[in-house]
A = this chain, B = another copy of it.
Amino acid sequence: MNYKIDNLQYCNWSREVFEINREAELDAVHVTIVYHEDYDELLKRVDEWNIRFKDNSDLIFHGKNFKDIEKAKDQKKTAIFFGFQNCSPIEDDIGLVEKVHHLGCKFMQLTYNNQSLLATGCYEKIDSGVTHFGKEVIKEMNRVGIVVDMSHSAEKSTFDAIDISEKPIAITHANPSFWHEAIRNKSNDLIKTLAKSGGMIGLSLYPHHLREGTNCSLESFCEMTAKTAELIGVKNIGIGSDLCLKQPDTVVEWMRNGTWTKTKNYGEGSKKKPGFPKQPDWFEDARGFKNLESGLKKIGFNQSEVEGILGNNWYNFYKNI
């Protein structure tokens, strides 16, 4: 097998983006369909996706489980798996977990950057871990089959989630902080514990998560990948590019501010650089997978390891959950 999977994109979806993903030979993409939307707003996002599936049925279809990754490869299409970057759609109601699963939700972050009803986000000062409601929701996510995603969560909350969840969890898009000390990146202890429990980390290509940002070199990224593999093993590493192709800057503003503040929060950006950062030239979009492939080989990974990182490891994770 040889599947290519990008396990996190949040693009301004259009036929052009789907074509680029096909050109990159992506068999599956985990797409963020909501951040701060409540359940009713989620229903609208799902409707929008149903129109996209209809209008672009030669390029994409709604992926439900690992077999759809195989089907996508056969049909030269991209299977689209739904995920949430915040738990807003389940509101304060455990009953909505099953409902969002029925709508196709495959991954749900317990928090975005702030405290949620379930756990603490990585931007809060104090991390109290997974809450009472959070424990109940993780149990329910395990039961119905939604992966716990802790990409934007704080450290103790993430350790808690690994501990509480009976199924492996994921950090769909982040990098190790040994390479680049971003608030969103993860400690060695954390990614080791994640991997031991069968969890996956999707390495991110979002400039704020990269050493030297937009100017990060392919070599540096691949070196980081090699060191991560030494630390946690190669089988628990994938890609979650965090590509936000064609998004206007108003979208990153909304991602960071939602409706929780009357002032402006810049998240990983700053007053001087408030918008989406420019991608490195070797990964402007998913066609950069080709560059990753040659870069990872050059750094010393063998063919099977490279294929694992670029998709097969995610495929196995989907298969096991």
Q: In the complex, are the beta carbons of A93 and B123 less than 8 A apart?
A: no
Complex: how many Å from CA A131 to CA B121?
10
Q: Is the interface of A mostly helix, strand, loop or mixed?
A: loop
* Contact A94–B124 (Cβ < 8 Å): no
Contact A115 B117 (CB under 8 A): yes
Closest CB of chain B to A187's CB: distance in Å?
19
Within 8 A of B (CB), among A25-49: 36, 38
B-binding segment of A233-241, A257-265, A281-289: A257-265
- B114 adjacent to A260 (CB under 8 Å): no
- From B116, B125, B129, B140, contact of A126 by CB (8 A): B129
For residue A84, give the distance in angstroms from its CB to the closest CB of chain B: 14
Q: Are B114 and A259 in contact (CB under 8 A)?
A: no
Query: Does A120 touch B at the CB level, under 8 Å?
Result: yes
Chain B residue numbers with a CB within 8 Å of A259 are 92-95
A128 in complex: contacting residue of B38, B91, B95, B115, CB < 8 Å:
B115
Q: A114-B131, A120-B128 are in contact. Are A140 and B262 (CB under 8 A)?
A: yes
| 9 tightest Cβ-Cβ pairs between the two chains A and B | A128-B128, A126-B128, A115-B131, A93-B259, A133-B260, A136-B261, A114-B132, A94-B262, A114-B133
Other contacts beyond A92-B258, A92-B260, A124-B132: 16, CB < 8 A: A36-B92, A92-B259, A93-B259, A93-B260, A94-B259, A94-B261, A114-B131, A115-B115, A115-B132, A115-B134, A125-B129, A126-B129, A132-B265, A133-B261, A136-B260, A136-B263
